[in-house]
Amino acid sequence: MINPSHGSPFPAKAHCALIEASLFEGEKARQSWQDWSQSTDFETEIDGPAFRLLPLLYHNLLRLGIDDPLMGRLKGIYRQSWSSNHILFLRAGLVIKLLNDNNIPVLVLKGIALTVLTYKNYGVRPMSDIDLLIKKEDVHKALNLLKDNDFTVDRSQSVEYAMRYSNSLSLTGPFKQELDMHWNPIVESNNMASKHDWWSGALPLEVGGQATSTMSRENMLLHTLVHGIRYNPEPPIRWIPDAHMLVKNGIDWKLFVKAAIDLRVGFLVMNGLTFLEKSFRAHIPDVVFEQLKDHGYTLSERLAFKYATSAKSIPPRSWTEKVVSNYFFYIRQTRFVNPIMQVLGFLKYSFFRLRTKSQLVESIHRLYSQLHLHG
């Protein structure tokens, strides 16, 4: 049973009405717009997640011919998103060209790919960063190339740790542009290279004048669900319109279900799709739920889902919260199913994490000392 709460990826009533008004057709969309606009103070009650849906809301209301005093303000928000996205796409194109020119294959992820292939509109989905997928063997080459072109890696990140236990690194480039460089879209696939190929079925697209590619729609939907269905102090509700639009555009459900089960995210995916169907009328074949329900899920998969969607401090505050957070992060990516092997693997992971963190702290301390001496 899904219980929406603040910070839950399964939104409460007010956000549901906003999403319905942004996605639905006809009278249902009009009624949802009335419900949301009449119960929400536009000046004081628009939180970050709701604000990011306003361009999509404007586009749907305009298409439905709705006349409302707020349409002028919504139009301004939509135009700002359209303008900002065009700038981001041009910057993304430059990064893609740099990598392509140096024989580093790239897949575009998340907002940029969804904008071009799914929404087909540059204004409806605001975004602030560039997400790219490269192959793990190209990571060091790409890092050196990007550093030579004025990108920097956040000092709080250990490249050694990220390469072993994470799936991405965050960089900042010219104009303070954020770039997330992934070698796996989700950490669940870190030890599953033989189980699933994210590059299979890649789709062509153009970004900032550069020819490139993105994942198949099945992989995009899987990525959207696993990335989005996580508790966050700011309710992470944008996964719902993203997933809804992907489903609407057509999915090879046989490929999708196999990938979800192979990557051990079937329980999470099943709950996400159930919510989409029941709350937002997503058309998902019954056979999909039958196949997902028939699969036997381990206790760790069920606990990982419960932890991912439950309220918690982010970042964790107490020592206990940190241990629990680290444990479930490890559980998401381990290939071990046996509980004893999982615990032993977690201890090994924890020692490695502490060692790399210690090295990072020591490096920062040395740098500070050098700056202090020269100051």
Would you list the DSSP string of 288-325?
HHHHHHHS---HHHHHHHHHHHS---SS--SHHHHHHH
| 154: three-class secondary structure by DSSP | coil
What is the pLDDT, as a whole number, of residue 375? Answer: 46
Q: Which residues contact 88 (CB under 8 A, 6 or more apart)?
A: 112, 127, 128, 130, 177
What is the pLDDT, as a whole number, of residue 278? Answer: 95
| Torsion sign across C-alpha atoms 144, 103, 167, 190 | negative
Distance CA 14, CA 47 (A): 11
| Torsion sign across C-alpha atoms 299, 300, 304, 310 | positive
What is the pLDDT, as a whole number, of residue 252? Answer: 97
CATH class of domain segment(s) 13-297 = alpha beta
Over its length of 375 residues, how does the chain's per-residue pLDDT go in tens digits? 454 556 789 988 889 999 999 999 999 999 999 999 999 999 888 989 999 999 999 999 999 999 999 999 999 999 999 999 999 999 999 999 999 999 999 999 999 999 999 999 999 999 999 999 999 999 999 999 999 999 999 877 788 888 988 999 999 999 899 999 999 999 988 887 778 999 999 999 999 999 999 999 999 999 999 999 988 887 779 999 999 999 999 999 999 999 999 998 999 999 999 999 999 999 999 999 999 998 888 888 898 899 888 878 788 888 898 898 888 888 888 877 788 888 899 898 888 887 766 554 544 445 445 555 444
Residues of the chain with CATH 3.30.460.40: 13-297
What is the pLDDT, as a whole number, of residue 357? Answer: 62
DSSP 128: -
What is the pLDDT, as a whole number, of residue 113? Answer: 98
